[in-house]
């Protein structure tokens, strides 16, 4: 059976404590941190709904297509409402 020495334990702990280099994040980490806030997503969905209603988004869509898109966005907003943040 091999006996572990103190120096081996020290080397092992040094390997675990080695820090990785910082990833290349943008200069404004709050702008892009991999997380999405509920209020931001809600605002985005409401802008899409408004654009569809005012025909600035997909102006060639028919009334039925606009209605279907509004219903899908309403469902997305309902799902979003279930989240806490």
**Range with the largest mean pLDDT of 11-15, 69-73, 81-85:** 69-73
Q: How far is CA 64 from the centre of its chain?
A: 31
pLDDT at 64: 97
Residue that wins the pLDDT comparison between 62 and 21: 62
Model-level pTM? 0.59
- In tens, the pLDDT along 8-60 reads 554 544 555 556 566 555 565 555 566 778 898 999 999 999 999 999 999 99
pLDDT at 84: 76
Q: What is the CA radius of gyration of the chain?
A: 26
For residue 45, give every residue at least 6 positions away whose Cβ sits within 8 Å of its Cβ, in sequence order, or none.
73, 76, 77, 80
């Amino acid at each position: 059976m091999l006996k572990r020495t103190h120096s081996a334990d020290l080397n092992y702990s040094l390997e675990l404590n080695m820090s990785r280099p910082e990833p290349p994040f943008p200069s404004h980490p709050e702008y892009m941190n991999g997380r999405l806030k509920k209020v931001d997503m809600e605002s985005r969905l409401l802008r899409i709904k408004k654009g569809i209603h005012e025909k600035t988004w997909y102006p060639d869509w028919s009334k039925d297509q606009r209605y279907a898109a509004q219903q899908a966005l309403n469902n997305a907003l309902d799902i979003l409402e279930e989240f806490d943040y």
